Amino acid sequence: MEILNSTIEDIDTLFRLYEAATAYQKEVGIKKWKGFERALVEQEIQEKRQYKIIEDGKIACVFVITYNDPLIWKEADADPAIYIHRIATNPDYRGRSYVKHIVNWAKKHAAEQNRKFIRMDTGSGNDRLNNYYISCGFTYKGITGIEQTEGLPEHYKNGTFSLFEIDLSKLAFYHVDAFTDQLFEGNPACVVPLENWLPDAILQKIAKENAVPETVFFIPEGRNFHIRWFTPEHEMDLCGHATLATAHILKTELYRGEDKFRFHSKSGLLEVEVNGDQFTLNFPSRKPVAAELPAIISASLSKQPKQVLKSRDYVLVYDTEQEVRELVLDRAMLEQIDLKPGGIIATAKGELVDFVSRFFIPQASIFEDPVTGSAHCSLIPYWSEQLDKTEMDALQVSERGGKLRCEQLGDRVLITGTAVTYASGLLKVF
């Protein structure tokens, strides 16, 4: 899918789409367009304000932008804003959530043009359309009328209009529980889509204020994304559950038609594939090797492991699942050691699954992580070798708990799980 400027060669197609949209408006009983002057559309093309969405080599949707709309927005027109008008979708491509794609494009365009608002209007009284625009990230701003001035387009005469706005000084966020299909289980993450990077100090403050194990930020980068993860204390090199949460939001809220997402990160290129409600992370394998356990970690343990390994994290292997469940670590003692961005994994063969684990982070406000996807970059290659299996089921036996389907794939691991959205809203950080 591409969003490009329309050209004069497209003008006949534009009018066919306008005619199809008008017929559809009449069919569903909403206020319909009354036709547009060809000269107007030619001028919009010349001024590079007419845009088209290309799918499969065809024009799937068109829209227009302006930078002023005093008839509709009156005094608020003084604000630096982009106004989106006249969205018309090819009937063969309806149902593909193009408004959401247009909004994401408009956010980037607004940033380039130093505009603080994205705005739309539609004929009032259409609750279904109003709710759809709200689901696309707009805030409903009420109803307005228009003075009956000379030259007013026919469809604006004798009507009232619902107003919608996205305030770009406020950041959308989504609170997601990952590696679970139940609310209040799994590992919570806050997902914050951005168009451009904010200063690192602001990102860290947002993560601290959110006070969940990870806050994840991402920006579009071509057809892919650039992703970063922050705990309340510091930036991480890799995070599984927050990446799963991001893919969940991209699929369910932002890019419903996509089934694969690619992220550039501190740990290289990461991929997530979607199959129904299942999200499969393609992450680097980090096989742990034999290591000596620092004395302070050893002293903090209620029971010593039978084996110690290390990659990014220390991996402590125990004989039984019960030992892992009952393990107690002296948090105060571990405040004396800094392992960031790593931590301490306790693991054992599982009773009902292939293996279980827990994950602890010294000097962190959240001492035990509920479900740790990145830890499985080490657990999967270890247990694959121990069990002589490439596909395994895992359980993180924290208080909230989480289920993971795992696969060893050469120098990569596949980690599959589900996610549910708990909340969404706006962060006002400026």
Question: Which pLDDT tens digit goes with each residue over 393-423?
Answer: 999 999 999 999 999 999 999 999 999 999 9
In a domain, 73, yes or no: yes
Task: For residues 232 and 330, state if they share a domain.
Answer: no
In a domain, 284, yes or no: no
Do the Cβ atoms of 236 and 229 come closer than 8 Å?
A: yes
Over residues 177-186, the mean pLDDT reads: 97
Task: For residues 133 and 10, state if they share a domain.
Answer: yes
Beta bridge partner(s), residue 407: 391, 414
Q: 3-state class of 193 per DSSP?
A: strand
In a domain, 131, yes or no: yes
Task: For residues 51 and 95, state if they share a domain.
Answer: yes
Phi then psi for residue 384, to 5 deg, are -60, -40
In a domain, 31, yes or no: yes
Is pLDDT above 80 for 151?
Answer: no
Over residues 168-192, the mean pLDDT reads: 96
Task: For residues 160 and 180, state if they share a domain.
Answer: no
For 123, the domain range is 2-167
Active site residue 37: no
**Run of H or E including 85:** strand 81-89
The C-alpha atoms of residue 17 and residue 31 are separated, in whole angstroms, by 17
- Give the per-residue pLDDT at 147: 73
Q: What is the CATH number of the domain that holds 76?
A: 3.40.630.30
Q: What is the CATH number of the domain that holds 185?
A: 3.10.310.10
Mean pLDDT, the chain, rounded, equals: 93
- Give the per-residue pLDDT at 362: 96
* pLDDT per residue as tens digits for the range 196-212: 888 899 999 999 999 99
Over residues 232-253, the mean pLDDT reads: 96
Task: For residues 183 and 152, state if they share a domain.
Answer: no
**Run of H or E including 302:** none
Task: For residues 319 and 334, state if they share a domain.
Answer: yes
Task: For residues 138 and 181, state if they share a domain.
Answer: no
In a domain, 66, yes or no: yes
- Give the per-residue pLDDT at 135: 87
Task: For residues 320 and 256, state if they share a domain.
Answer: no
Q: Which of 214, 253, 321, 368 is catalytic?
A: 214
Task: For residues 259 and 331, state if they share a domain.
Answer: no
In a domain, 111, yes or no: yes
Task: For residues 9 and 142, state if they share a domain.
Answer: yes
- Please say which residue of 167, 185, 201 terminates a domain: 167
Task: For residues 320 and 355, state if they share a domain.
Answer: yes
The C-alpha atoms of residue 37 and residue 33 are separated, in whole angstroms, by 12
Rounded to two decimals, the pTM is 0.73
Task: For residues 313 and 361, state if they share a domain.
Answer: yes
In a domain, 153, yes or no: yes
Do the Cβ atoms of 234 and 341 come closer than 8 Å?
A: yes
Region of 56 on the Ramachandran plot (φ > 0 left; ψ -120 to 50 alpha; else beta) = left
Is pLDDT above 80 for 315?
Answer: yes
The C-alpha atoms of residue 9 and residue 223 are separated, in whole angstroms, by 26
Dmax (CA) for the chain in angstroms is 86
Domain total for the chain?
A: 3
Other beta carbons within 10 Å of 199: 8
In a domain, 282, yes or no: no
Angle between helices 38-46 and 11-28 (to 10 degrees): 120
% of the chain residues with pLDDT over 70: 96
- Give the per-residue pLDDT at 153: 64
β-bridge pairing 2-5 and 139-145: unpaired
The C-alpha atoms of residue 71 and residue 77 are separated, in whole angstroms, by 9
* pLDDT per residue as tens digits for the range 76-98: 999 999 999 999 999 999 999 89
The CA-atom distances, in angstroms, between 403 and each of 67, 180, 212, 394, 397 are 49, 6, 19, 6, 9
Over residues 89-117, the mean pLDDT reads: 91
- Please say which residue of 113, 133, 167 terminates a domain: 167
- Please say which residue of 148, 167, 186 terminates a domain: 167
The C-alpha atoms of residue 173 and residue 281 are separated, in whole angstroms, by 22
